[in-house]
Structure 1
């Protein structure tokens, strides 16, 4: 058995791990990047990039379907599933190739191909891909092992290969004829709508009443109405049984309206993700996991307690998004590196960027800054500015006049705090809002910026004007219609 000592061991070569490696390498040359493969990051291989490729195909199909609204009448729509998936796989592989090139550029002495687990607080055993074993002593460890889809064991036993997760979709050679999607969060909503628009018979089953990540009650209700009209969706659907039926699956579920059942080629479980930490034997490192399977950590240093282990990216289930994983990797790698000389007891906190999340549904969903739920839970005194896109000029011109935007501002300071939106160009509006929030702008400063005509951003101006009115009118009133913890 081989042995080795390093200053910093980084477990995982995804977005967080690669960022952590770069940051740690600024402090020491004794860094090991450990990953069993396959390499290529979750985003590039099975996440944000291939899913957007599928969504782009769906948007092209939908544009043909909607063209007669403008007096444009194309010929009969024909969707070739093999061609759709060939482009998805080809472009996906191109994106993965860029990541593989970055990893290959890292000197071989820093890369270890194998699966690691703790044998002590600063000791790791790595089962190497070549069959060997390596005992590694690391002064600091960064856990950046990501997460995996959560699957009910009984479904896997009953359905076998007919039960899939989003990772499996992007290796398809062709589109299926039908699919049940369980889970109406970001992944389930995006894939269900894309497949529906590509001619697949889809049924989206959501356990709760909401669709996607919106927390503002008004927007939750609007979102449910919009998406129930846009695709076959059933909310408050509890799956009661699944079984193989010939070459497909039979799904039964219960809703307040009664019992339902339907047959499909496949069942796609979009029921959440689980952090990849149990297999690391965290107890051997003295790490105690909470009910979510994650140890307590400082979000501004990514340090677990005051110990030598740091945790970054999807594995800590804090902000499971690519840009956040990359930022967390930088923070964790830098903190680990700094602690080599500064010690573990007084690491300086590092700033975090304003939260920003986007769902590439149609209409898009986006959250910037603090959500309605977070503001209410904190007891923040805030006002809300609202705009509907139903009659917003540019939105009507392009026939994308669905949805609404709510922007929140603090009573007293008038600072922008957050926003939730459902509507056209949400990915762009959310960026503008996130930048304003991070700069600490007031509603008055935001309204002083230029707005062209006619553009969708004029809807944001309307919401900001309404927010200004709300703050002016309610300067001495309490939190708007909410209590702490709501």
Structure 2
């Protein structure tokens, strides 16, 4: 007879969300089990955030050398050693991954179960070794995997994803990046700046789902300097003797083709839910096969099942996965009590140069907007990075900030400041009353804030024009 394990909360998956869920459940008094096939680290450390930023860091250094002439610094014969670039990516990636594995190893060995689990009932699981688990609540935190439609999968070793790119010993001479979300844009710009002839293609006509057309146009101009860009096209890759021919077809007869060494598929990362036998759990599923759930508790309907991280297909971002896990674990431990959590202001950052960010609500939901142009912003011009736009969205009548879109110098830092301001309910006028040091990129916010203030019935703060013009 197979052995039956019992616990208060069983967590399926040991990535960022699963580890956070197990920790939250345990800290709230629940006995826990966490199940994973490998326990080899998080997506962020192994194939996501960290290795991609390492590649981007190398590309950023190359771009700085190329523009050093602007500062009167002549660099002759720059050479990119792509083998060394990729070796550093892997070395540092492995160090980050090892640190996450050390954290996993601190878990009680009796809590860690290496294997795969599937539902046999609403609160029961079966492991691939025949053991069974009976739990009061179950958290699904199985993560996601790269989408690879059949025409792309047929390319064999000529197709790359974020899970294989970093294993390249050398960079290809030519590449087509398909997909214009965050991953596609980051990889395309980084590879182009590292000397790879890059073509970026996307079925969507929008880059990184930017909501403001002014910001979108600024980003498109930046990208088109480094690569060939084709938006709103259907892509058809075909293996050739020495690489891949990529053909595309757009509206109104637009078409073209390019021969490349590899195709990088950045087509999204759908949830890893196959093999869980969700039908045995009795969960209602949405049109994509993802269990319907409440974002304030991560609970699936009235069941004892919770979702967390990429498996929930809400916002596939590390900080969201960590929050999901904490919310799911706490609610799973407290079941049947409901502990609702107000979610933070939505914040998404893409680490291109300049960085892209979308924060909070959109222009469609705003009564008032204000835009800043960074082409002549003082500190940005000093640094030679003076390009981009930022649009703020505010609610009437007082000009309370509700969202923003930007592609701007120091964009990742501006995005955090704006997310904090939006979450705390600041108005444009209140932000203008705060100190702005000169010369800083943060001063670039003033133009957009003043435009919002001008559209409200409230007076501008008395010191709104203190200091110097944005271009000085």
TM-score, normalisation: structure 1: 0.91
Question: Contact 2:199–2:228 (CA<8 Å) still a contact in 1?
Answer: yes
Distance 1:208 1:4 in 2: 48
Structure-2 change in CA distance of 1:79 and 1:244 (3 Å): same
Distance 1:473 1:150 in 2: 50
- The one of 341, 361, 364 equivalent to 2:352 is 361
Indicate yes or no: 2:87 matched with 1:86.
yes
Q: Match of 1:471?
A: 456
- Partner SS, residue 333 of structure 1: helix
Distance 2:386 2:368 in 1: 25
- The one of 220, 223, 226 equivalent to 1:227 is 223
Deviation at 1:254, TM superposition (A): 1.4
- The one of 150, 153, 157 equivalent to 2:150 is 153
Deviation at 1:310, TM superposition (A): 0.4
4+ residue stretches of structure 1 with deviation over 4 A?
Answer: none
| Structure 2 residue runs without a partner (length 5+) | 460-472
Question: Contact 2:355–2:412 (CA<8 Å) still a contact in 1?
Answer: yes
Deviation at 1:473, TM superposition (A): 8.9
Deviation at 1:27, TM superposition (A): 2.6
Structure-2 change in CA distance of 1:5 and 1:362 (3 Å): same
Distance 1:412 1:292 in 2: 40
Distance 1:103 1:20 in 2: 13
Farther-moved stretch of structure 1 (219-228 vs 245-254): 219-228
Q: Match of 2:169?
A: 173
- The one of 303, 306, 315 equivalent to 2:311 is 315
- Partner SS, residue 176 of structure 2: strand
Aligned positions, number: 457
Question: Contact 2:215–2:389 (CA<8 Å) still a contact in 1?
Answer: yes
- The one of 182, 196, 201 equivalent to 1:200 is 196
Taking the TM superposition and a 5 Å limit, the aligned residue runs for 1:27-38 are: 27-37=28-38
Question: Contact 1:163–1:269 (CA<8 Å) still a contact in 2?
Answer: yes
Deviation at 1:228, TM superposition (A): 2.0
Q: Match of 2:15?
A: 14
Indicate yes or no: 2:271 matched with 1:280.
no
Q: Match of 2:65?
A: 64
Q: Match of 1:479?
A: none
Deviation at 1:381, TM superposition (A): 4.9
Question: Contact 2:42–2:100 (CA<8 Å) still a contact in 1?
Answer: yes
Distance 2:346 2:298 in 1: 17
Question: Contact 1:15–1:41 (CA<8 Å) still a contact in 2?
Answer: yes
| Structure 1 residue runs without a partner (length 5+) | 475-486
Q: Match of 2:434?
A: 449
Deviation at 1:363, TM superposition (A): 1.6
TM-score, normalisation: structure 2: 0.94
Deviation at 1:155, TM superposition (A): 2.3
Question: Contact 1:382–1:410 (CA<8 Å) still a contact in 2?
Answer: yes
- Partner SS, residue 134 of structure 2: strand
Question: Contact 2:139–2:332 (CA<8 Å) still a contact in 1?
Answer: yes
Deviation at 1:215, TM superposition (A): 1.0
Indicate yes or no: 2:421 matched with 1:420.
no
Question: Contact 1:210–1:224 (CA<8 Å) still a contact in 2?
Answer: no
Question: Contact 2:173–2:261 (CA<8 Å) still a contact in 1?
Answer: yes
- Partner SS, residue 184 of structure 1: coil
